[in-house]
């Protein structure tokens, strides 16, 4: 069982930046590919970014490519999402998720992930 806890969300003006963190407990993240999803009110949960277990490969949704960067520090058991040039349409609850490394990534659908954090709210004002 992997327990994930996101942090770093908040209110930011358009054009600003935030860094989200996803810390794991109970198990090391070394054996998991990780991803970020987001869900806005009234919308389905959507893929944002993914990173392989080693950090050697990353994947991004077209809507965030060039603005968001995901990284990981396995020694700290933490995954990050650096968000820059934020837009009001980035407003959502952001979740991190984990899938065992035996799977091929990127896994773009929420149902493909075994473990989820509770989410952190990101609000971008115009």
Q: How many CA atoms does the CB half-sphere of 30 hold within 13 Å? A: 4
Mean pLDDT of 15-43: 94
Q: Of 28 and 65, which is predicted with more confidence?
A: 65
Indicate whether 27 pLDDT > 90.
no
CB 122, CB 90: distance < 8 Å: yes
Indicate whether 28 pLDDT > 90.
no
Q: How far apart are CA 21 and CA 13, in angstroms?
A: 20
């Amino acid at each position: 069982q992997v327990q994930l806890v996101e942090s770093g969300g908040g209110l930011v003006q358009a054009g600003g930046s935030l860094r989200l963190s996803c810390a794991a407990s109970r198990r090391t993240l070394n054996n998991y590919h990780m991803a970020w999803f987001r869900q806005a009110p009234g919308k389905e949960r959507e893929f944002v970014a993914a990173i392989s277990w080693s950090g050697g490969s990353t994947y991004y949704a077209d809507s965030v490519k060039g603005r968001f960067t995901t990284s990981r520090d396995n020694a700290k058991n933490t995954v990050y999402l650096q968000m820059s040039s934020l837009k009001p349409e980035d407003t959502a609850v952001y979740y991190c998720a984990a899938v065992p490394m035996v799977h091929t990534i990127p896994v773009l659908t929420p149902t493909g992930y075994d473990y989820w954090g509770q989410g952190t709210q990101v609000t971008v004002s115009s």
